Structure 1
């Protein structure tokens, strides 16, 4: 602490928590015994127990908003107005705009700290200090001095889900108090940190009172992909002000308050020190304060430190921060929600401030250790974190020192996307300037072999401080520590992008130079695109899936389209050449269309229209009789795995998919326990390989995937003069799956097959009608439970699982597949796992009694 900071705190201790502005970053001399001093200061001025003392220089919220915080939820505009009012009245605060939302709203943030630290010069000094602290080339002596003299950057973010509002209101209270208070409790935070507050991450969703943004994206699943402008701008601000602590405040359907420790699974590359801070510093501090204030709480939920897509996992893996999700029951009054969110935020800031120098020193060591692990080719081991009974997958003793990606003319756009994503998380990417012999090259999904990589290949060495992030993005297998996952179990970016590449554990000395910064790659615009219609099916899944297609058409592909609903579809499809039908409620759509609308849609296809549907969009195609694909519920337990499929190389759907130097046309799909499909009278344009073949490979949980062997992933069928292409999976999954977006592009814009499904085209009407009816009977047997929660257990555990479900009064369907039993729990409102009133409680109880094979929540 700076001398003035110590005087401030001492004055507070001796004279009732007074104090003034410190001169800036803390001095190394005064911080010599900072850990002991911090403990003493905390014991004499416990967080949240001092009487707040306000200077009165900053206007109270009610004078700006016209109401007191906690009397009702603030709007996005009101939050913005309050940030600007505080900025205008306090030298401790500066504000800015991190991004602009899809609908044009600003993502305003505030930075609050001592005046010297948040001035233009102070912020530049802070950024320079943090950059040096993280740089392995900085000497130990200089790093120690920086740890002693640099404020910690602590983040509070909220409202990434637009209908989870209270974190915003609590963050505004924290901002007001740090901007105006002068007591010892506030001084501890101000003297030791700079706090970045992003009160609203999803202003469009807040205004619409929806979880998702205007494109239907759940932006707490968008962190690594950065498809949405809100996410992208937020991450650029994080790079500018790298966090030591990152709080992501949410709301949920369960009662009580949640904070870490998290339940299993935890990703093996989560930095050890960050996990120790979460579990050993912040969690005990939060628990102690919640007990003192008699606030009910629970820990040990999967909110989620595994997949690198969240507001806790990405700051932790990508920045070595303590990333924490907080969840407050959404059924309480706003005053209660605000207060408990505020208590959690303030307690965390206080804990970090009291240990500032130690944490900064360990933060640097964490990044040095990552560099050293990469140099040695070491991967972090898996652990059992909470209530898992044993490890599902042990991280193998496999040296990984390098990743390589040969230049591929067919994949240049996807490869550029991969390089750009890495660079924009401060990963050093190099290009070989001479050929390189690699004795143990391990291509994705293939056996190791010796190769000579050509000049121009991209090289990503693991020996850098972003080693954990590199492995999280480029791995072939995530080595999940449990047999279940809250959301997806795989997210490898090379597989999602379907680029060729691989790893090596050899000690190599490549001739290479740093790759230049990669600009955002663009899709090549078609010369004469067809007239496209996009049909949004009813339900939450329909909103999300159609929203992802709207994003793809508008922002990625730059293609004009006509937006349709079942009601507008009844007016006809004049002027439409291709109809794209994503996921949603097929059964409700069939009811809305009625026999007249269904017949009109079928007639449009037979007259020459092209129908492209996926998931329940495929089910709708069967329902109206333009597809004879047979769909049945799967018994897999994958929880969002990446599964390789084999494409028919003669199909126009495979154009641009085959890798350079290979006649094989394969792609990795995000398989999410989707229905099993056989093509009926159509052609299987893509199939699932058998487990004993070279093309079979799964990244992530793969229980039951062998049952898909030989079934169709894509069916292509001639229908009169028209064509129907249906996918069993989502080729545009969350905007992540750019490898299969290429196949979708071909389906929408590509040519018809030269001999497309000749059998289907020449089948007698009676035989075709029989095939249609058979497919429709199978589709009618598919579960109709909304967006069900899926639990898969060993059949020996079925009785215990059933008893738990009955105890919660759940509506569910049960089916047995070999040695597995699949339970689908009705979720007709499309609630997420967080929003659901008992989903996480059920998952926790289940793990206490059995070892589930899969627990999949929307």
Structure 2
């Protein structure tokens, strides 16, 4: 399953459609009629010519008997490619641990020559180019083939999509019957059996660095994602299948749940819902296989294996989820069925798909030229749009390059845009913009200097430009599976803005930028760094530490020692100058430190050590008495949002950052520091002009004036504590620079009163010790009047919780000690529906 943070957030009077029951029978899922091809794809008896060895001949098993290993997948793929003239193979990337990501391209032999593949790529480029004459585009649509991708196993512990993809590869490589011939004659198919070979071998969701790679698509921080997108740009898809597993034994395929991102092309939604979704529903109904749709899995956050192919390539991005509680042969069979039915439908509708794909490109260009943003829509009534897209023309985006300290961040954004086919230009003369809207500010007449990057919306990638450079994601209504803010300029803390005016800039095209090593400013030499991972079993700890290891290893190239709490107790802090303590369960780590480890950390800091912590690491510092900052649970509902914060320009953390930054926030602890001299970064007052939020929030004004980062002397040492994650998924580059300065920068000037000695019995430590402890918690917020009924409902499903009240709301934090994602949890997946069925209108239900 996606296992992304799933949130149903219902703001008072907002109405949500009741979700389809996870165990609903297939008969209860009506399907729109689909024209069956003359040769039925699922009822045609397969006929093999025998050129390709069976899986049993190569691997000793038939596919579906058990999951194949990553090496076995590679071996069978290469065997098929070697024995079938319909298949060529290659490696599109190597994983973090060096394993290959093997792919196969399948089609008629004439297409697979160097010239044939070049023509497929050329035809795709011409169809996507609005300048291509209509007559030529029609000829290509009549004679060309769509590019169809089948991928699996982006989560390493969801294996069945890989085996099914290998079966598809074998069938297309060797079958001679009409069902296989229809696909071969009318499509080019690219099979990527496993997107995460390291995770497959380790049976972990994440890759070797702890990244959930179904969140990494727009940032492409991981080599596996980067290589995949590089090839997708060579072979842009009209269909991208992303095969997952979830809990239970049902099957999910689209139509998706609301919300759907507003820049998702309508024709692509039509393919997803009415062409492919309807065909699968009809086949599953015919065979009596249980399935559901229009629930749980949305099409909103632009980091998934369905949203990015849809928004960036105008493809039908399709998430398939099979219940992992089913026997493995059933999982394999149903994954194969969805892949085969979908490929067959695409082949049967070849000309329609290419024609509409062309139309999407032309429409995107025309929308961009007119400055028209797509509106928010609801696809599953009775849901209603809670927040419309503003009625403001947007014809241009600009990225300012006149701050030399932000050069690397600006160029990183430009390179990311270019690598997705976005046209970027450079102003050769100053440009006066009458309605320039800097991010988070009001429109104002502004003259932009020469050297500013200009990204016109009048281009085929208009949807992707808006997705990446937006000021806000304009969440249509409050249901979120994952984060709600991801704007590249905000993540990078880069100055820029937009305009709806009709402008004629003097500008030149920017040549493709090369990747640059991320330089970090150093004060003196490299310090000896320790990374204290608070838990081996906590998903939050593994991910936060993994994101940090990636940043240290691959970008900053700073060596470090990885420590556990027991190592601290054993005296292994000796020689460490900077200790980095990422997120994780603070109470567990505090207990594992024991008296010896707790004393060692206090003594190490007091004697000159630099303790840099965030989230759970901040809570641990407070428990140890290493700060006077007081922590409290939030009473707001913020599922993953960017807030502008003010940076103290006198702080050593401010180097290269500027007066403001953008803090990613997701139900983090609220941090209050009574001594203003110890606050390095602060949330603005909620009623000030600096207050700006990109993404969803309810009640976030409680953050106004609180600390985002505190910097406090402790004896001869120092603690730098972040309330939120400064290195979220390794793509919050703006706050990562604050972190780099905390590691490598100088100490602050004297001014703040130092803790002469850590005070584990002080007020801050006492408040931290009283915080509720929950791994991957489930959060429920309701009106006070509904609290009793809500508590009774949660009690009936076996929930255990901590409770807090704020205003007219009651907030429940439900423990999830095994850290299970929503779809694998015994009751989390149905909790929102149960609450609604009880007649309760929740403020928010947020699931892990």
Question: Do the structures match in fold with TM over 0.5?
Answer: yes
1:773 equivalent in structure 2: 762
How many angstroms apart in 2 are the aligned matches of 1:359 and 1:512?
Answer: 36
**Secondary structure of the corresponding residue to residue 723 of structure 1:** strand
Q: Is 1:784 aligned with 2:778?
A: no
**Secondary structure of the corresponding residue to residue 792 of structure 1:** strand
Q: In terms of mean alpha carbon deviation, does 736-745 or 647-656 score higher?
A: 647-656
In structure 2, the CA distance between the partners of 1:311 and 1:88, relative to structure 1 (3 Å rule), is same
2:552 equivalent in structure 1: 553
How many angstroms apart in 1 are the aligned matches of 2:845 and 2:581?
Answer: 28
What do residues 285-304 of structure 1 show as CA deviations (whole Å, max 9, x unaligned)?
11011111111001122323
Q: In terms of mean alpha carbon deviation, does 609-618 or 408-417 score higher?
A: 408-417
How many angstroms apart in 1 are the aligned matches of 2:381 and 2:817?
Answer: 30
Structure 2 residue corresponding to 1:292, chosen from 286, 297, 303: 286
1:344 to partner: Cα distance:
0.8
2:746 equivalent in structure 1: 751
**Secondary structure of the corresponding residue to residue 147 of structure 2:** strand
Q: In terms of mean alpha carbon deviation, does 203-212 or 645-654 score higher?
A: 645-654
Q: Is 1:370 aligned with 2:364?
A: yes
2:470–2:487 Cα contact (<8 Å) kept:
yes
How many angstroms apart in 2 are the aligned matches of 1:851 and 1:237?
Answer: 46
How many angstroms apart in 2 are the aligned matches of 1:808 and 1:146?
Answer: 57
What do residues 670-705 of structure 1 show as CA deviations (whole Å, max 9, x unaligned)?
100101111256711111111211110000112111
In structure 2, the CA distance between the partners of 1:170 and 1:133, relative to structure 1 (3 Å rule), is same
How many angstroms apart in 2 are the aligned matches of 1:356 and 1:634?
Answer: 52
1:283 equivalent in structure 2: 277
Where does 1:16-31 land on structure 2 (aligned, <5 Å)? Answer: none
Q: In terms of mean alpha carbon deviation, does 806-815 or 237-246 score higher?
A: 806-815
1:454 to partner: Cα distance:
0.9
How many angstroms apart in 1 are the aligned matches of 2:544 and 2:602?
Answer: 23
2:640–2:696 Cα contact (<8 Å) kept:
yes
**Secondary structure of the corresponding residue to residue 677 of structure 1:** strand
2:540 equivalent in structure 1: 541
1:47 equivalent in structure 2: 41
How many angstroms apart in 1 are the aligned matches of 2:750 and 2:361?
Answer: 57
Where does 1:98-177 land on structure 2 (aligned, <5 Å)? Answer: 98-177=92-171
How many angstroms apart in 1 are the aligned matches of 2:98 and 2:426?
Answer: 38
Q: Is 1:805 aligned with 2:794?
A: yes
Q: Please give the TM-score of this superposition, normalised by the length of structure 1.
A: 0.92
How many angstroms apart in 2 are the aligned matches of 1:192 and 1:845?
Answer: 46
Where does 1:500-539 land on structure 2 (aligned, <5 Å)? Answer: 500-525=495-520, 526=522, 528-538=525-535, 539=538
1:533–1:561 Cα contact (<8 Å) kept:
yes
2:624–2:759 Cα contact (<8 Å) kept:
no
**Secondary structure of the corresponding residue to residue 413 of structure 1:** helix
1:308–1:314 Cα contact (<8 Å) kept:
yes
2:74 equivalent in structure 1: 80
**Secondary structure of the corresponding residue to residue 231 of structure 1:** helix
1:799 to partner: Cα distance:
5.1
1:649 equivalent in structure 2: 649
What do residues 292-322 of structure 1 show as CA deviations (whole Å, max 9, x unaligned)?
1111001122323101010010000010000
Q: Is 1:698 aligned with 2:688?
A: no
How many angstroms apart in 2 are the aligned matches of 1:821 and 1:382?
Answer: 30
What do residues 588-636 of structure 1 show as CA deviations (whole Å, max 9, x unaligned)?
1111110111001110000000000000000111122212221110011
Q: Where in structure 2 are there 5+ consecutive unaligned residues?
A: 1-32
1:675 equivalent in structure 2: 669
**Secondary structure of the corresponding residue to residue 141 of structure 2:** helix
How many angstroms apart in 2 are the aligned matches of 1:186 and 1:794?
Answer: 57
**Secondary structure of the corresponding residue to residue 713 of structure 2:** strand
1:738 to partner: Cα distance:
0.1
1:669 to partner: Cα distance:
0.8
1:485–1:854 Cα contact (<8 Å) kept:
no
**Secondary structure of the corresponding residue to residue 503 of structure 1:** strand
1:710 equivalent in structure 2: 705
How many angstroms apart in 1 are the aligned matches of 2:782 and 2:362?
Answer: 42
1:570 equivalent in structure 2: 569
How many angstroms apart in 1 are the aligned matches of 2:637 and 2:128?
Answer: 41
1:58 to partner: Cα distance:
0.6
How many angstroms apart in 2 are the aligned matches of 1:786 and 1:163?
Answer: 20
1:3 equivalent in structure 2: none
How many angstroms apart in 2 are the aligned matches of 1:594 and 1:724?
Answer: 21
In structure 2, the CA distance between the partners of 1:173 and 1:795, relative to structure 1 (3 Å rule), is farther
What do residues 546-567 of structure 1 show as CA deviations (whole Å, max 9, x unaligned)?
1111000011101111111112
How many angstroms apart in 2 are the aligned matches of 1:315 and 1:799?
Answer: 45
2:379 equivalent in structure 1: 385
1:425 equivalent in structure 2: 420
How many angstroms apart in 1 are the aligned matches of 2:295 and 2:235?
Answer: 29
In structure 2, the CA distance between the partners of 1:821 and 1:104, relative to structure 1 (3 Å rule), is same
1:820 equivalent in structure 2: 809
How many angstroms apart in 2 are the aligned matches of 1:614 and 1:655?
Answer: 20
1:791 to partner: Cα distance:
3.2
How many angstroms apart in 1 are the aligned matches of 2:513 and 2:419?
Answer: 9
**Secondary structure of the corresponding residue to residue 753 of structure 1:** coil
1:716–1:725 Cα contact (<8 Å) kept:
yes
How many angstroms apart in 1 are the aligned matches of 2:667 and 2:124?
Answer: 44
How many angstroms apart in 1 are the aligned matches of 2:424 and 2:300?
Answer: 25
Q: Please give the TM-score of this superposition, normalised by the length of structure 2.
A: 0.93
In structure 2, the CA distance between the partners of 1:792 and 1:467, relative to structure 1 (3 Å rule), is farther
Q: Where in structure 1 are there 5+ consecutive unaligned residues?
A: 1-37, 659-664
What do residues 489-538 of structure 1 show as CA deviations (whole Å, max 9, x unaligned)?
11111101000000000000001011121112323253611111111111
2:242–2:305 Cα contact (<8 Å) kept:
yes
In structure 2, the CA distance between the partners of 1:424 and 1:792, relative to structure 1 (3 Å rule), is farther
How many angstroms apart in 2 are the aligned matches of 1:151 and 1:583?
Answer: 48
What do residues 616-658 of structure 1 show as CA deviations (whole Å, max 9, x unaligned)?
0001111222122211100111110101111122111111111
Q: In terms of mean alpha carbon deviation, does 82-91 or 842-851 score higher?
A: 842-851
In structure 2, the CA distance between the partners of 1:112 and 1:855, relative to structure 1 (3 Å rule), is farther
**Secondary structure of the corresponding residue to residue 592 of structure 1:** helix
1:388–1:851 Cα contact (<8 Å) kept:
no
1:410–1:657 Cα contact (<8 Å) kept:
yes
How many angstroms apart in 1 are the aligned matches of 2:751 and 2:331?
Answer: 59
Q: Is 1:625 aligned with 2:614?
A: no
Q: Is 1:582 aligned with 2:559?
A: no
2:22 equivalent in structure 1: none
2:248–2:326 Cα contact (<8 Å) kept:
no
Q: Is 1:238 aligned with 2:213?
A: no
1:103–1:204 Cα contact (<8 Å) kept:
yes
2:257–2:296 Cα contact (<8 Å) kept:
yes
Q: Is 1:340 aligned with 2:334?
A: yes
How many angstroms apart in 1 are the aligned matches of 2:292 and 2:41?
Answer: 21
Aligned CA-pair RMSD: 1.7
How many angstroms apart in 1 are the aligned matches of 2:712 and 2:413?
Answer: 34
How many angstroms apart in 2 are the aligned matches of 1:294 and 1:39?
Answer: 17
1:586–1:617 Cα contact (<8 Å) kept:
yes
In structure 2, the CA distance between the partners of 1:717 and 1:761, relative to structure 1 (3 Å rule), is same
**Secondary structure of the corresponding residue to residue 760 of structure 1:** coil
Q: Is 1:90 aligned with 2:84?
A: yes
What do residues 106-164 of structure 1 show as CA deviations (whole Å, max 9, x unaligned)?
00011111111122221111111111111111110000100111111111111000000
1:820 to partner: Cα distance:
2.8
What do residues 722-748 of structure 1 show as CA deviations (whole Å, max 9, x unaligned)?
001110000000101000001001111
2:786–2:840 Cα contact (<8 Å) kept:
yes
Q: In terms of mean alpha carbon deviation, does 841-850 or 447-456 score higher?
A: 841-850
1:389–1:851 Cα contact (<8 Å) kept:
no
1:264–1:388 Cα contact (<8 Å) kept:
no
